[in-house]
Amino acid sequence: MTANRTQANGKTARRLAVVVLAMFGFGYALVPLYDVLCEITGLGGRTGVVEAGALDGAVDTSRTVKVQFLGTVNSRLPWEFRPNVASMEVHPGEVYETTYFARNLSETATIGQARPSVAPSVASLHFNKTECFCFVEQEFGPGEARDMPVRFVLSRDLPADIATVTLSYTFFNSRQTG
């Protein structure tokens, strides 16, 4: 009877191992699918990128949308980071520029990368940037500070029920230099 029980336990353990491996594989396969889903639906608040020359110049002056700006720093990055203006009123279709301020508070050179997010998430499908510090890593020397520009446009197709859009950046430590 013990041999049968040992055999049954071994069989159950093998089945569980197969299930765990299958679950891991399924989860791993979903990562690219999730990225595509986020791009299509705006889930996750990712913004679009558009060339300035590709804009048609048509502006919806009959509508005003409030754009709020937020900035945070991951705890592993010794920086001060904030928007220079808290919000602005914009017309869909018109290109606007704002700046964010960043300062390296450490005594060593540091490289950071900003990740944008837009809320509500459906607005991210209509929020496009022509220029942004988030496109590349930012290297700051010890104590270095600077303003970094963001040039953006809200699509005229932004749903009419959206009156406020929030653009938020989180800066992460890419790596330390020196």
Residues 163 and 147 occupy one common structural domain: yes
d(CA 79, CA 149): 17
| Lowest-confidence segment of 44-48, 106-110, 148-152 by average pLDDT | 44-48
Number of domains in the chain: 2
Between 25-39, 73-87, 134-148, the lowest mean confidence (pLDDT) is in 25-39
What's the pLDDT score for residue 47?
A: 54
DSSP state of 13: H
* Contact indicator for 57, 95 with CB cutoff of 8 Å: no
Label residue 33 by pLDDT band (50, 70, 90).
Answer: low
List the CATH number of the domain containing 58. Answer: 2.60.370.10
Q: Which of 57 and 60 is assigned the larger pLDDT?
A: 60
Is the same domain home to 100 and 18? no
CA distance 178 to 170: 24
Q: How far apart are CA 30 and CA 25, in angstroms?
A: 9
Same domain, 136 and 168: yes
Same structural domain for residues 33 and 61? no
110-119 tens-digit pLDDT = 999 999 999 9
Predicted local distance difference test score (pLDDT) of residue 19: 81
> In the structure, what pLDDT confidence band is assigned to residue 108 with cuts at 50, 70 and 90?
very high
Q: Is 106 helix (H, G, I), strand (E, B) or coil?
A: coil
Greater confidence (176 vs 133) lies with 133
Structural domain of residue 24, as residue ranges? 1-41
Average pLDDT over residues 59-63: 91
How confident is residue 58, by pLDDT bands cut at 50, 70 and 90? confident
Q: Which contiguous run of DSSP H or E holds residue 131?
A: strand 127-132
Q: What is the mean pLDDT of the chain?
A: 83
Give the pLDDT band (50/70/90) at residue 41: very low
Same domain, 5 and 69: no
Same domain, 101 and 127: yes
